[in-house]
Structure 1
Amino acid sequence: MKEYFEILDWDSDFFGFKVAKINKGLLLEEASENCFKSLYKNEINLGYFFSNSPIDQSILNNDFYNIILVHKRIPLVKTIIKDCGFDPNISIYKDKYPSEDMIHLAQLAGSYSRFGVDPNISHDKFNDLFKTWIINSVNKKIASDVLVFKKDDKIIGLATIKIEKGVMYTPLFAVKRKYEGIGVSFSLMRAIETIAFRNDCSTIIGGTQEVNIKALKVYERFGLVPQEPEYIYHLWKNK
């Protein structure tokens, strides 16, 4: 019964098995058995479920799927009010393929992500995923642009940006560990706000994991306001 879920072609191709996103409008607790049976019958190995509240503990144990809370995401929102200017160390990346530094930064950005913390996803597969992510950001398949911060001709920070319907999204954001605390993050954020302002965006929307306290503090200091958390579950088919 396809009303319960949507098969994700890209994810399925990448992982080599069927992956689906479960309808967010579905109250999983109320229709859980039929939903699980439908997923299982359609040979869905991995399901994503996004919820505004935690799943009832009573359905976590079932015969069909192992359900893991992989992510408690904190959305962050800021209203854009000014042109902040550009740090001279920041530029829009122009090459057709990311550098090794950028690939490592993308993997660093994903280390707290749901794919980084799910024990069922191997380290190699995780690295491949975020390498693919930054490749597809640079070639603009999934991003509008990629900002990079350079020091001594080496890329030490990056941010991917995507503009849609007057909103600026920031899917990937990372600074090399050894350069944290010297203002790289704030410089990238000011550049993001400047590009958003110049493109008539009204809002910046980002997000990070609740456990990433350091990132949350940085975002809040820059004026991004935390919203209600989103609970993200992975459902793995029982063998």
Structure 2
Amino acid sequence: MKDYEKKIRFQEMDWDTDYFGVKSARVILNGNLTVKEWENLKIQFKEYDFISIQNQHSSPRNAQFIGRETSAFLADINIQFIKVLNGLDSYPGEVEIDNSLKYEDQVQIEKIGDFKFSKFIEDPNLNKRGGNRVYTEWLINAFKDSNKFFSLSRDENSNVNGYLLHSFKDDICVIELIAVSSDSSRLGIGTRLIKSLETSAFCKGIKKVKVGTQVRNIRAINFYHKSGYKQIECNQVYHLWNI
């Protein structure tokens, strides 16, 4: 049973169920499935309206099961990066880090960011159920969570023109969202935000920073490579609908 649970992690998604109005679950496949394991999994699928299937490391065997025996479609390929922090860089003084933001800052942050590669938008079944507002809801929940931190960049008028949302899990700092205002792109703001985060994390004793993005987001991939991050995973995400 323990080996099965390591290979297959099945989780009900309460937030998604409430938000999208469909009974939702996520399954994470951590290894090549046997025929019997796959047959048992298909039985579980029938209990839900929507299942997000994450095929870790894009296993060809699991992809064959999914593509041949379900109506699931490939909604995303998630690239995971990690960087080991070996020392301190010079801290960019114009960036601030806070976990208790003023209302004006929250309003400005919500207006920044174009998450055009989002699976919540590109899946029409999610998009018509409010998928285009998922990242706004993500931010609103983060504003209320003292364990979520924002690195903020401001323009000459003290308005927020870039942010980086991050949190800490065990001994790793996780970048959740990063966005720069379209009016301030290509000014090095993203680099300053990430350097401030790394400096802050290192001062807290955190030696690793992790971040993910979509395979089609070439600009983000190039940015993380340029910033010294190494790719460690490439995971397929399939969406299966039973409605």
State whether TM-score is above 0.5: yes
Output the CA distance in 1 between the equivalents of 2:27 and 2:230.
Answer: 28
CA contact (8 A) 2:174 2:209 kept: yes
Pairwise CA distance, 1:68: 1.5
Q: Which residue of 2 aligns with 1:16?
A: 21
Q: Which residue of 2 aligns with 1:46?
A: 50
CA contact (8 A) 2:79 2:234 kept: yes
Pairwise CA distance, 1:160: 0.7
Output the CA distance in 2 between the equivalents of 1:111 and 1:26.
Answer: 30
What amino acid maps onto 2:228 in structure 1?
G
Counterpart among 148, 153, 173 of residue 149 in structure 1? 153
Give ranges in structure 1 of 5+ residues lacking alignment: none
SS in 1 for 2:186: coil
Q: Which residue of 2 aligns with 1:218?
A: 223
Matched, 1:102 2:109: yes
Output the CA distance in 2 between the equivalents of 1:24 and 1:204.
Answer: 24
What amino acid maps onto 1:72 in structure 2?
I
Pairwise CA distance, 1:220: 0.8
When structure 1 is superposed on structure 2, of 151-160 and 79-88 the one drifting more is: 79-88
Q: Where in structure 1 do 4 or more consecutive aligned residues deviate above 3 Å?
A: 25-29, 31-34, 54-59
When structure 1 is superposed on structure 2, of 120-129 and 155-164 the one drifting more is: 120-129
Pairwise CA distance, 1:225: 0.9
In percent, how many aligned pairs have the same letter?
Answer: 24
Aligned length: 229
CA contact (8 A) 1:90 1:148 kept: yes
Pairwise CA distance, 1:23: 4.4
Pairwise CA distance, 1:201: 0.5
What amino acid maps onto 2:209 in structure 1?
I
Q: Which residue of 1 aligns with 2:63?
A: 56
TM-score by length of 1: 0.85
Q: Which residue of 1 aligns with 2:134?
A: 129
Output the CA distance in 2 between the equivalents of 1:60 and 1:177.
Answer: 38
What amino acid maps onto 2:154 in structure 1?
K
Output the CA distance in 2 between the equivalents of 1:180 and 1:111.
Answer: 16
| 1:84-233 correspondence runs (5 A) | 84-93=89-98, 94-95=100-101, 97=103, 99-105=106-112, 108=114, 110-122=115-127, 125-140=130-145, 143-151=147-155, 152-233=157-238
SS in 2 for 1:17: coil
Pairwise CA distance, 1:20: 0.6
Compared CA separation, residues 138 and 189, structure 1 to 2 (3 A): same
What amino acid maps onto 1:127 in structure 2?
N
Pairwise CA distance, 1:212: 0.7
**CA RMSD, aligned part only?**
2.4
Output the CA distance in 2 between the equivalents of 1:26 and 1:147.
Answer: 36
Give ranges in structure 2 of 5+ residues lacking alignment: none
